[in-house]
């Protein structure tokens, strides 16, 4: 047991060590040497994680220590590794490793690979730390580390204005959620006296605190998860984050960052369950899934379609958690990580070879990149949930669980979203790989072997995973009852088949034209509505600008008019922003400053007199 | 409450202070300022503190006033009637006075009999306990002299 | 003893001097008068120290020596700044120079 | 006071006092001057570090406890770095030795201030720290610095006057200046409250608390940035500790009634600082207002004075603050010297022109914003936890909101540096040995990160102090 503890710490540490040495070695020797360091680090990290997974017995690995103590106040830290964390770590390190290998081909023209691999290893390391720590404070530290790395990686091509802005947006939006999460942690710590996951869950199971308090804490923490996992309404950053390199998107979407939110909810599942927060999780998930699935239908960029699909699948996981089936959610997380990594990396190969991100400007690529096309198809099939592939098993389980849960709204939204996968998936595939080759397609050639090898590994995994479903579920959750409804399965497959038919007719046979639909104002409106993600981004901007900014400005304005300036020149400049007025106190006149000083002293004295 | 001498001194101190601020001519203001400082020295003498009174006279009425006069000669001042701000200043200072007096009457501070300390005691305590601070004052003076030298030379070179 | 007064009267004196000093600092716009006002405020504190020292022990009186020294240094520094200010701007009214604000 | 600590301050002040003399005699160059004063700093630092041993002198006036040793060492390091940067950027100025001399004497004042436990020594140490800076502010010798000098002087004089008045009132109540005597003899009384307010006003001037802060941004902006680093980093940190000693050791009996007022002042200070910082275009003013906001964060800890954690909050924030603010202003100074960059527009693209310097600047800005690995984060955690502990959750929430707000303008500077196209074409002062100047800044960045992770020294020191003041 003692050995496993040290190996766990070593696993977290090796990534940070590797990231720094990759940077230094790349900086002071040949730049691409950092790649070998990164590969070595990733491999060792993966092997160590596998070792932990194989040696993990019935009991979780637990180690506790205090970061520091001060009287009765102490900040505990420590690790807690059970099957859930180990599976998350396997996903992060395994897919991270494949992604590192793939990047050798994708980033071949890059000038600073040492920076790239430094940030990348740091990212993976933060994620591994995040799933191994045993309490909320430790999680928060790594949580911020993940956010920082995503900021750096999304803005990796910082000289591109759009990339820089996307990075900033991702940072600000996830930070916004984190503020609430931090508040939740503080509330939990102060009022419940603990921040350890196991103790919190035990308290919840024992019913040691009121449901309302639990609901408050759960919701505050859930807002953090919403920001990190890009759910409604904090998802617009995920779309803009496509400005980063595609390998980074693969890492963010499949292996690390967005999974963190799902992991957090799963980790605190009993707590959420006790405090009745799961219904909120379910509703947010269902709504996000619906928004994302419809949005993906309208988009034209390869990566943005994939981004919407990520959001949808994460939402499905949240729905699964929300309806109380944590096993389905985590199983789907694992499957999603595999096929989404496959899709993103394949898309990366396409984009790298054609230098074009817009799917509708490509076409007929099958002829030039047959292997990539087939691998992409495997990914699409898994994404759509077609039977022999892994996506089918978990997605069907989620639909079944939702049906069994019995809430018609959640079920309806989830069902529609789940079946729409096949529509946008095949729409994307048909548009990119079939039809007449375009200008961009004609220069393309097959991806390099070093890029194809990770793809093949992932594609094989999509087929192999279903065979081990029982073992995996047992490893994770022990005995779990899986709801099964034959009618529902048949209905799902039928609707999916019909949708496939429609997509086939529109985009492959091209017998139905969408031009007329788009020309009609209503159709155009719907398209734009979906394209812009239901205008949530615009709404957030509007709220920021008008509600927060406007109200603060108005409040300060009022104070200024009625208190500072009197009626002298108040009403004239209503439209000035808040600070523009506020700073007028700083008159620059030394006598005014002295007056404020004395007035301050007298006010304090009066306050003492009367308070 | 105090005897008649106290109130005479009170009147002179406050009166000269006000004149020092309000007098139209800067020279009269300076003279009034000297009167104020000397009156305070007189209070010290009245409290049987001849050394403190002497120091007050020497440093203030001697040193500071000469500095001020020197500055007045260099600068000069054309007196202008202050505008606007005086009301705020009067209100604030009156508030301060009223609050302070009010608090002092509310307070449980007790009037002890006045004692006289001999100059020997003063000197002994000063040397034994407080002599360290003369070194500190010396450092302040040296830093100020260096900086003043730098600034004055800079000024000369700037011309 | 020449000045026979209880502590409240003395406090009234020092508070009055403080108030006059504050009044001067806030209402006079010329730097020299402001310097006068600063000296008045410090003298008010000194008066307090001397009075309480006469009632209690010798510490306050010695602190008053240091305070006088510090106040004199402060006056010297102030005059140096004032003269530099005057030489540059040709002006003894700091309220008129307001480049640093907001 | 420990004899070694006393020797440390004397060595520092004497080195400062004799530096211009040496210059007058031997005409030393900038590097030689830096070496000589570095020797002074190193000896002094060594003496401070060994000052838990040796005999004690002047026990009535000064105490040497872990807090003064810790803060003294850190203030010395910060001041040392300021000295190096000032030598580097004002090498051509004939009077740089005089400036350094005043800097060292002022630092000696800060060292005395953080160990004072008597109002006499406190007032005189504060004057020793403040008085040279009245003239140092004028050193840049341009219009702005004159204006700043006048503002600083009159505000300072008023503050000193009020503080002396308050001290005299306390003396009148008890007949002693010693904290240990005051804490025994003081009782709740209107005059004591008045005196406490007056003394707080004097400190409020130094730490730029809300109604007393107005001089701050103008002066930090108007003077040369090296002096601003001294004013806002070192002397403010020392004033925090001085105020802490007054509040916890001298007037705890009355301070307990001030928590609400302190909380209100803290909230106002933070809000005013952050709101006004958002409006600025000049980087020095942004840093100045953020310094005001940081005074507010520290006052949050003061407001929570009923719990022992507040001591840790104050000390930790002072530790973090002395490095991050000093270093931020020094980075600004170097940018100003090399590129002439003052406004936000000038900072565009400087991340590409000066990658290492900009990276260091970013570290300090992030620390000011309170991002995890740096000391600025942990200090905020302590401060806000102390507030929650003391039952002032609303204050902690205001603080959290404020620190969320403040991220905006720090990130804005970073954005200008990294994401925009450069506007400045070539440096105005391109020194060949430019990389040397990164060394002092890197030292501060490393210390900032070390104190962000290794919290034990500060926490231990504060635990000792908390035990001493009777928690």
pLDDT digits (tens, 9 = 90+) for D348-388: 888 888 888 888 898 899 899 888 778 888 899 889 989 98
ipTM over 0.85: yes
For residue D154, the model assigns a pLDDT of: 92
Q: How far apart are CA D178 and CA D121, in angstroms?
A: 9
Residue with the larger pLDDT of the pair B141 and A175? B141
Q: How far apart are CA A433 and CA A420, in angstroms?
A: 20
**To the nearest whole angstrom, how far is the Cα of C6 from the nearest Cα of chain B?**
5
> A412-471: per-residue pLDDT in tens?
888 888 888 888 888 888 888 887 777 777 777 777 878 888 888 888 888 888 888 888
Residue keyed to tokens 């979203």: A417
> C6-41: per-residue pLDDT in tens?
888 888 999 999 999 999 888 888 888 888 899 999
pLDDT band (50, 70, 90) for residue A533: low
Count of domains in chain B?
2
**To the nearest whole angstrom, how far is the Cα of D126 from the nearest Cα of chain C?**
11
pLDDT band (50, 70, 90) for residue D123: very high
pLDDT band (50, 70, 90) for residue A228: confident
User: Per-residue pLDDT for A595 more than 70?
Assistant: yes
Which residues 40-69 of C have a C-beta within 8 angstroms of B?
40, 43, 46-47, 50-51, 53-56, 58-59, 61-62, 64-66, 68-69
Residue A359 exposed, middle or buried by CB count within 10 Å (0-12, 13-18, 19+): buried
Mean pLDDT of the region A374-383: 86
Q: How far apart are CA D403 and CA D299, in angstroms?
A: 14
Q: Which residues pair with A81 in a beta bridge?
A: A61
User: Per-residue pLDDT for A574 more than 50?
Assistant: no
- Nearest CA-CA partner of A230 in A215, A216, A249: A249
User: Per-residue pLDDT for B82 more than 60?
Assistant: no
Which tokens is A74 given?
């102490």
**To the nearest whole angstrom, how far is the Cα of C44 from the nearest Cα of chain D?**
7
Q: How far apart are CA A353 and CA D106, in angstroms?
A: 65
Report the residue of C7, C51, C53, C62 to disrupt the B interface, i.e. the one with the largest count of B CBs within 10 Å.
C62
> D207-221: per-residue pLDDT in tens?
999 889 889 888 998
Q: How far apart are CA A501 and CA A499, in angstroms?
A: 5
User: Per-residue pLDDT for B78 more than 60?
Assistant: no
B54 within a domain of the structure (yes/no): yes
Residue with the larger pLDDT of the pair A214 and A73? A214
> A74-99: per-residue pLDDT in tens?
778 888 888 888 888 888 888 888 88
Q: How far apart are CA A212 and CA A516, in angstroms?
A: 53
Mean pLDDT of the region D313-321: 92
Q: Where is the domain boundary, B59, B82, B105? A: B82
Mean pLDDT of the region D98-109: 93
Which residues 38-67 of C have a C-beta within 8 angstroms of D?
38, 41-42, 44-46, 48-49, 51-53, 55-57, 59-60, 63, 66-67
Nearest to A582 among D198, D212, D276 (CB): D276
In chain A, residues with a C-beta closer than 8 Å to the C-beta of D309 are: 70-71, 73
User: Per-residue pLDDT for D240 more than 50?
Assistant: yes
Asked if B133 has any chain D CB less than 8 Å from its own CB, the reply is yes
pLDDT band (50, 70, 90) for residue D70: very high
User: Per-residue pLDDT for D109 more than 90?
Assistant: yes
> A273-303: per-residue pLDDT in tens?
888 888 888 888 888 888 888 888 877 788 8
Mean pLDDT of the region A507-513: 72
**To the nearest whole angstrom, how far is the Cα of A582 from the nearest Cα of chain D?**
7
Q: Is A606 in Cβ contact with B89 (below 8 Å)?
A: no
B102 within a domain of the structure (yes/no): no
DSSP A487-511: HHHHHHHHHHHHHHHHHIIIIII--
pLDDT band (50, 70, 90) for residue A227: confident
For residue D419, the model assigns a pLDDT of: 75
Count of domains in chain D?
1
Q: How far apart are CA A140 and CA D377, in angstroms?
A: 13
Mean pLDDT of the region D188-207: 90
For residue B81, the model assigns a pLDDT of: 57
- Expressed as residue numbers, the domain containing B14 is 4-82
Asked if B146 has any chain C CB less than 8 Å from its own CB, the reply is no
Q: How far apart are CA A423 and CA D87, in angstroms?
A: 69
Q: How far apart are CA A96 and CA C46, in angstroms?
A: 73
Q: Is C100 in Cβ contact with A588 (below 8 Å)?
A: yes
The CA angle A515-A235-A392, to the nearest 5 degrees, is 75
Share of chain D above pLDDT 70, in %: 100
Share of chain D above pLDDT 90, in %: 43
List phi, psi (to 5°) of B85. Answer: -65, -20
B127 within a domain of the structure (yes/no): yes
List phi, psi (to 5°) of D65. Answer: -120, 175
Residue with the larger pLDDT of the pair D42 and D405? D42
DSSP C16-70: HHHHHHHHHHHH--SHHHHHHHHHHHHHHHHHHHHHHHHHS-SHHHHHHHHHHHH
List phi, psi (to 5°) of A65. Answer: -150, 165
Q: Which residues pair with D2 in a beta bridge?
A: D56
User: Per-residue pLDDT for A544 more than 80?
Assistant: no
Set out the domains of chain C in order of their start, with CATH numbers. Answer: 7-92 (1.10.287.3510)
Going by C-beta distance under 8 Å and a sequence separation of 6 or more, which residues neighbour residue D93?
D99
Mean pLDDT of the region A7-11: 86
> A230-271: per-residue pLDDT in tens?
887 777 787 777 877 888 888 887 777 888 888 888 888 888
User: Per-residue pLDDT for A567 more than 60?
Assistant: no
Q: Is A70 in Cβ contact with D197 (below 8 Å)?
A: no
DSSP D82-129: HHHHHHHHTTT-TTHHHHHHHHHHHHHHHHHHHHB-BHHHHHHHHHHH
Q: Indicate whether B9 and B66 sit together in one domain.
A: yes
Asked if B86 has any chain D CB less than 8 Å from its own CB, the reply is no
Around Cβ A482, how many Cβ atoms within 10 Å?
A: 17
> C44-101: per-residue pLDDT in tens?
999 999 989 988 888 899 999 999 999 999 988 988 888 888 888 887 788 787 887 7
Residue with the larger pLDDT of the pair A237 and D155? D155
User: Per-residue pLDDT for D277 more than 90?
Assistant: no
- Nearest CA-CA partner of C100 in A25, A201, D153, D146: D146
Asked if B103 has any chain D CB less than 8 Å from its own CB, the reply is yes
For residue A542, the model assigns a pLDDT of: 67
Mean pLDDT of the region A132-151: 85
- Expressed as residue numbers, the domain containing D24 is 3-468
For residue D155, the model assigns a pLDDT of: 92
Q: Any idea what the CATH number is for the domain that residue B69 is in?
A: 1.20.120.1200
Report the residue of D97, D125, D141, D149 to disrupt the B interface, i.e. the one with the largest count of B CBs within 10 Å.
D141
For residue A224, the model assigns a pLDDT of: 86
In chain A, residues with a C-beta closer than 8 Å to the C-beta of C18 are: none
pLDDT band (50, 70, 90) for residue A70: low
For residue B25, the model assigns a pLDDT of: 81
Going by C-beta distance under 8 Å and a sequence separation of 6 or more, which residues neighbour residue D189?
B107, B108, B109, D173
For residue D38, the model assigns a pLDDT of: 93
For residue A568, the model assigns a pLDDT of: 37
pLDDT band (50, 70, 90) for residue A575: very low
Q: Is D17 in Cβ contact with B132 (below 8 Å)?
A: no
For residue A489, the model assigns a pLDDT of: 81
Share of chain A above pLDDT 70, in %: 88
Is residue A52 a contact partner of residue A8, using CB atoms and an 8 Å limit? yes
User: Per-residue pLDDT for B155 more than 80?
Assistant: no
Q: How far apart are CA D284 and CA D300, in angstroms?
A: 25
User: Per-residue pLDDT for A570 more than 60?
Assistant: no
């Amino acid at each position: 047991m003692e050995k496993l503890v040290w190996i766990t710490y070593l696993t977290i540490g090796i990534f940070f060590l590797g990231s720094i040495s990759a940077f230094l070695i790349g900086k002071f020797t040949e730049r691409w040497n950092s790649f070998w360091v990164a590969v070595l680090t990733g491999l060792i990290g993966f092997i160590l994680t596998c070792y932990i997974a194989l040696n993990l017995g019935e009991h979780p690995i637990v180690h506790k220590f205090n970061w520091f103590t001060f009287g009765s106040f102490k900040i505990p830290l420590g690790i807690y590794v059970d099957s859930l964390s180990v599976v998350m770590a396997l996903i992060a390190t395994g897919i991270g490793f494949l992604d590192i290998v793939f990047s050798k081909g994708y980033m071949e023209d890059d000038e600073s690979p040492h920076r790239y691999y430094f940030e990348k290893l740091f990212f993976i390391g933060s994620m591994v730390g995040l799933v191994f720590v045993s309490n909320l404070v430790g999680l928060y530290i790594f949580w911020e580390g993940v956010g920082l790395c995503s900021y750096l990686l999304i803005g990796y091509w910082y000289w591109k204005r759009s990339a820089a802005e996307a990075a900033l947006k991702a940072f600000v939006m996830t930070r916004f959620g984190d503020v609430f999460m931090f508040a939740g942690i503080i509330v939990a710590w102060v009022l419940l006296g603990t921040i350890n996951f196991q103790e919190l869950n035990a308290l919840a199971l024992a019913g040691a605190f009121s449901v309302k308090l639990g609901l408050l804490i759960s919701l505050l923490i859930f807002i953090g998860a919403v920001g990190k996992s890009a759910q409604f309404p904090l998802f617009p950053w995920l779309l803009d984050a496509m400005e980063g390199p595609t390998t980074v998107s693969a890492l963010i979407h499949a292996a690390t960052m967005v999974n963190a939110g799902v992991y957090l909810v799963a980790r605190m599942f009993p707590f959420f369950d006790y405090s009745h927060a799961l219904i909120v999780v379910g509703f947010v998930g269902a709504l996000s899934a619906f928004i994302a699935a419809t949005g993906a239908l309208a988009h034209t960029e390869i990566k943005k379609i994939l981004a919407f699909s990520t959001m949808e699948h994460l939402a499905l996981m949240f729905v699964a958690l929300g309806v109380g089936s944590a096993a389905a959610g985590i199983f789907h997380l694992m499957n999603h990580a595999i096929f989404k990594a496959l899709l993103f990396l394949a898309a990366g190969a396409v984009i790298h070879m054609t230098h074009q991100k817009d799917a509708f400007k490509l076409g007929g690529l099958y002829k030039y990149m047959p292997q990539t096309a087939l691998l992409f198809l495997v990914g699409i099939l898994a994404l759509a949930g077609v039977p022999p592939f892994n996506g089918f098993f978990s997605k069907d389980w989620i639909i079944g669980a939702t049906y069994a849960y019995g809430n018609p709204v959640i079920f309806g939204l989830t069902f529609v979203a789940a079946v729409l996968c096949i529509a946008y998936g095949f729409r994307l595939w048909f548009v990119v790989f079939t039809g007449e080759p375009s200008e961009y397609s004609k220069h393309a050639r097959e991806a390099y072997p070093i890029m194809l090898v990770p793809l093949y590994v992932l594609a094989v995994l999509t087929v192999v995973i279903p065979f081990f479903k029982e073992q995996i579920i047992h490893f994770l959750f022990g005995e779990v009852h899986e709801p099964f409804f034959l009618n529902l399965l048949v209905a799902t497959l039928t609707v999916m088949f019909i949708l496939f038919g429609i997509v086939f007719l529109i985009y492959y046979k091209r017998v139905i034209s969408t031009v007329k639909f788009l020309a009609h104002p209503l159709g155009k409106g719907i398209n734009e509505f979906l394209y812009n993600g239901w205008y949530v981004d615009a709404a957030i901007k509007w709220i920021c600008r008008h509600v927060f900014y406007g109200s603060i400005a108005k409040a300060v304005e009022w104070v200024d008019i009625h208190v500072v300036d009197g009626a002298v020149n108040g009403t004239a400049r209503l439209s000035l922003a808040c600070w523009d007025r506020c700073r007028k106190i700083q008159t620059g006149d030394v006598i005014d400053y002295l007056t404020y000083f004395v007035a301050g002293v007298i006010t304090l004295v009066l306050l003492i007199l009367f308070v | 409450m105090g005897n008649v001498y106290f109130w005479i001194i009170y009147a002179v101190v406050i009166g000269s202070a006000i004149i020092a601020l309000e007098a139209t001519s800067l020279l009269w203001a300076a003279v009034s300022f000297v009167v104020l400082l000397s009156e305070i020295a007189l209070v010290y003498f009245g409290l049987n503190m001849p050394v403190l009174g002497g120091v007050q006279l020497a440093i203030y009425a001697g040193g500071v006033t000469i500095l001020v006069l020197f500055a007045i000669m260099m600068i000069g001042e054309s007196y202008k009637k202050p505008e606007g701000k005086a009301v705020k200043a009067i209100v604030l200072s009156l508030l301060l006075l009223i609050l302070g007096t009010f608090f002092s009457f509310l307070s449980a501070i007790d009037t002890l009999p006045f004692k006289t300390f001999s100059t020997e005691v003063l000197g002994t305590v000063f040397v034994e306990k407080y002599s360290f601070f003369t070194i500190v004052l010396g450092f302040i003076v040296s830093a100020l002299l260096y900086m003043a030298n730098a600034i004055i030379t800079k000024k000369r070179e700037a011309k | 003893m020449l000045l026979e007064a209880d502590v409240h009267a003395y406090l009234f004196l020092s508070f009055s001097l403080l108030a006059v000093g504050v009044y001067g600092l806030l209402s006079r716009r010329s730097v020299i008068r402001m310097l006068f006002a600063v000296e008045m405020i410090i003298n008010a504190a000194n008066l307090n120290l001397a009075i309480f020292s006469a009632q209690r022990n010798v510490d306050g009186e010695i602190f008053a020596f240091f305070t006088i020294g510090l106040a004199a240094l402060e006056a010297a520094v102030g005059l140096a700044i004032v003269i530099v200010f005057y030489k540059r701007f040709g002006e003894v009214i700091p309220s008129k120079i307001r480049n640093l604000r907001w | 006071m420990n004899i070694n600590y006393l020797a440390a301050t004397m060595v520092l002040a004497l080195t400062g006092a004799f530096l211009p003399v040496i210059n007058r005699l031997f005409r030393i160059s900038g590097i030689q001057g830096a070496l000589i004063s570095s020797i002074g700093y190193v000896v002094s630092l060594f003496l401070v570090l060994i000052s838990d041993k040796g005999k004690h002198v002047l026990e009535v006036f000064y105490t040497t406890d872990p807090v003064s040793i810790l803060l003294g060492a850190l203030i010395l390091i910060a001041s040392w770095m300021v000295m190096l940067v000032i030598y580097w950027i004002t090498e051509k100025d004939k009077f740089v030795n005089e400036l350094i001399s005043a800097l060292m004497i002022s630092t000696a004042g800060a060292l005395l201030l953080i160990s004072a436990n008597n109002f006499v020594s406190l007032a005189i140490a504060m004057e020793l720290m403040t008085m040279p800076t009245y003239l140092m502010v004028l050193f840049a010798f341009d219009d702005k610095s004159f204006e700043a000098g006048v503002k600083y002087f009159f505000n300072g004089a008023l503050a000193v006057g009020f503080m002396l008045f308050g001290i005299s009132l306390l003396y009148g109540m008890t007949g002693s200046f010693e904290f240990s005597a005051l804490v025994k003899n003081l009782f709740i009384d209107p005059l004591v409250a008045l005196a406490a307010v007056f003394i707080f006003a004097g400190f409020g001037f130094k730490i730029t608390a809300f109604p007393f802060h107005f001089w701050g941004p103008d002066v930090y902006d108007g003077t040369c940035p090296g002096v601003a680093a001294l004013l806002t980093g070192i002397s403010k940190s020392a004033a925090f500790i001085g105020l802490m000693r007054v509040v916890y050791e001298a007037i705890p009996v009355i301070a307990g009634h001030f928590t609400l007022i302190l909380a209100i002042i803290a909230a106002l200070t933070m809000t005013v600082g952050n709101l006004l910082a958002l409006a600025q275009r000049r980087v020095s003013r942004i840093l100045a207002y953020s310094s005001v906001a940081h005074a507010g964060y520290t006052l949050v800890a003061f407001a929570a004075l009923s719990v022992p954690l507040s001591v840790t909050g104050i000390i930790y924030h002072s530790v973090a603050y002395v490095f991050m603010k000093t270093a931020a202003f020094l980075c600004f100074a170097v940018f100003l010297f090399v590129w002439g960059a003052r406004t936000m527009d000038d900072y565009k693209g400087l991340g590409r022109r000066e990658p290492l310097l900009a990276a260091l600047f970013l570290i300090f800005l992030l620390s000011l914003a309170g991002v995890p690995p740096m000391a600025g984060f942990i200090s905020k955690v302590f401060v806000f936890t102390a507030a929650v502990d003391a039952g002032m959750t609303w204050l902690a929430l205001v603080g959290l909101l404020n620190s969320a707000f403040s991220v905006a303008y720090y990130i804005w500077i970073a954005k200008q540096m990294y994401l925009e196209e450069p506007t400045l074409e070539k440096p105005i002062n391109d020194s060949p040995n430019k990389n040397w100047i990164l060394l002092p800044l890197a030292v501060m960045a490393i210390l900032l990160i070390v104190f962000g992770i290794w919290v034990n020294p500060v926490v231990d020191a504060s635990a000792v102090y908390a035990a001493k003041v009777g928690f």
